[in-house]
Structure 1
C-alpha cells in the first residue's frame, strides 16, 4: 500500500515538474557557491594565484604572432556587441515562431549575468595581468565579462533554439556552443588579457544564470 501510494504520487504533474527542476536548481547553487569561494580567494590575494601563474607559463611558448592574431579574432565573438548581435538574430527567429517568452528569458539571462559581472568587477577590483604588446583592456580583471557573455549568451541561445529539435540536432548545438565558449574563454588567457581564474570565475557566474534561465524556460513550458 505505501509503495502504491508513492508510485501514484510520482505521476502527478506537479511532482514530476519539481523532480525535473531539482537538479537544475542544485547545479545553479553549486556554481554560485564555487564562484563565491573563488571571489574570496581572488579578493584575498589581489595578484595572480599559483594556478594563474602555471597557466600563463604553460601558454607562453605558444604565443606566436599568427596564433595571437587568430585568437584576437575569436575573442571578438565574446564581446558585448557580438553577443547582442547574435541574440538579436536569434530573437528574430523566435519571434517568427511566436516564442516571445523564450526570447525574453534570453535577454533576462544576458542582462542579469552582465550586470552581476560588472558589479563583482567593481567590488573585487582585481588588476589585470601584465599585458602582451598590442593587447590591452581597462576594466578590472575578475571575472572575465567575455566568458560570462559567451556562456550566458551563446549557451542559452543554443538551448533555446535546439530544445524542441531532434536529439542529433540538440547534440550538435550543444557541441558547437561548448566549442565556441571554450575558444572565447581561452582566448582571454591566451591574449594575456585575463588570469585563468578570471575566466573560471566568469564561467561559474554565467553558469548560475544559464541554469536559472533553463529553469525559467522549463517552468514556462510546464504551464
Structure 2
C-alpha cells in the first residue's frame, strides 16, 4: 500500500488541478458574460447555424434537426436520472457502494448548482428556438451541459477505476467526451442556449466530475473498500 502512495498522491493532485482549472474557467466565462463581452461571439456563432433571414430555421436538412432533438434528449433530466439509477443499481449489485454514493451525490449537486447559478445570473435565453416553446428557466449555465458532463465523465471515471484495461479506459472517456460535446452543440443548434452557456456548463460539470474523482481517490487511499460489507 505504501509503495502506491506517491502514485495515488500524484493522481489526486493532477485531478485536483483539473477541477480547479474547470472552476476557474467557469468563473472566467461567467464574468465575461456578465459584462456583456461575449454577446458578439454568442450571436455570431448561433447566427451562423441559422438560415439567412430566418433566425428560427436551422441550417441543414430536416433530418439533422430531428437528430439534434434526439441528441439533446441524452442530456435531459429524465434520461440522466434513468442512466444514474441504472448505474447505481448495477454498482450496488456488485457491492460498489462507495462509487454509487459518490455518483449520486455528485450528479445531484451538479444539477442543483446549475439551477442556483441560473437564478444568480438571470441570463435570458436566445430567441432562436428551432422547435417548440423556449424552456422557462434562465440560460446561464446550460443545465443539460452541466449535468450531462458531470454524469457521463464520472461514469467514465468509475469504469476506469474498476477495469484496469487501457482500451476500456480510453473508450469510456472518449464516449463521455463525445456525449458532452454533442449534447452541448445540440443546445446551441436548436437555439435554446447561447454558446457561452454551454461552455460554462461543460466547465461546471467537469468540475463536479473531477471533484468526485478526487474524493474517490482519497477515500480509497485511506482504505475505504468498494466491496466492504462490514466493519
* TM-score under structure 1 length normalisation: 0.88
Candidates 30, 33, 44, aligned match of 1:54: 44
Q: Secondary structure at the match of 1:78?
A: coil
Is residue 48–residue 195 contact of structure 1 (8 Å, CA) maintained in 2?
A: no
Is residue 63–residue 190 contact of structure 1 (8 Å, CA) maintained in 2?
A: no
The answer for the alignment partner of 1:119 in structure 2 is 116
CA displacement, residues 28-65 of structure 1 (integer Å, 9 cap, x when unaligned): 111111111111111222x9622212211322242543
The answer for the alignment partner of 2:35 in structure 1 is 44
Is residue 144–residue 194 contact of structure 1 (8 Å, CA) maintained in 2?
A: yes
The answer for the alignment partner of 2:140 in structure 1 is 142
CA displacement, residues 129-184 of structure 1 (integer Å, 9 cap, x when unaligned): 01334232111000000001111011111221232221111111111121111111
Is residue 102–residue 160 contact of structure 1 (8 Å, CA) maintained in 2?
A: yes
The answer for the alignment partner of 1:4 in structure 2 is none
Give the Cα–Cα distance (whole angstroms) in 2 for the partners of residues 88 and 202 of structure 1.
22
Is residue 147–residue 203 contact of structure 1 (8 Å, CA) maintained in 2?
A: yes
Aligned pair count?
212
User: Cα offset for 1:77?
Assistant: 1.1
Candidates 81, 85, 97, aligned match of 1:84: 81
User: Cα offset for 1:202?
Assistant: 0.3
The answer for the alignment partner of 1:6 in structure 2 is none
Give the Cα–Cα distance (whole angstroms) in 2 for the partners of residues 217 and 150 of structure 1.
19
Give the Cα–Cα distance (whole angstroms) in 1 for the partners of residues 111 and 23 of structure 2.
15
The answer for the alignment partner of 2:181 in structure 1 is 182
Give the Cα–Cα distance (whole angstroms) in 2 for the partners of residues 174 and 85 of structure 1.
20
Give the Cα–Cα distance (whole angstroms) in 2 for the partners of residues 13 and 167 of structure 1.
19
Is residue 43–residue 124 contact of structure 1 (8 Å, CA) maintained in 2?
A: yes
Q: Secondary structure at the match of 2:88?
A: helix
Provide the aligned C-alpha RMSD in A. 1.8
Give the Cα–Cα distance (whole angstroms) in 2 for the partners of residues 25 and 189 of structure 1.
30
The answer for the alignment partner of 2:23 in structure 1 is 32
Once the two structures are overlaid, the 10-residue window that deviates more, 21-30 or 141-150, is: 21-30
Task: Give 1 or 2: higher helix fraction.
Answer: 1
Is residue 15–residue 210 contact of structure 2 (8 Å, CA) maintained in 1?
A: yes
Candidates 100, 105, 109, aligned match of 2:102: 105
The answer for the alignment partner of 2:227 in structure 1 is none
User: Cα offset for 1:70?
Assistant: 1.0
User: Cα offset for 1:21?
Assistant: 1.3
Is residue 25–residue 203 contact of structure 2 (8 Å, CA) maintained in 1?
A: yes
Contiguous gaps of at least 5 residues in structure 1: 1-10
Please give the residue correspondences for 1:197-212 in structure 2 after superposition, counting only pairs within 5 Å: 197-212=196-211
Q: Secondary structure at the match of 1:131?
A: coil
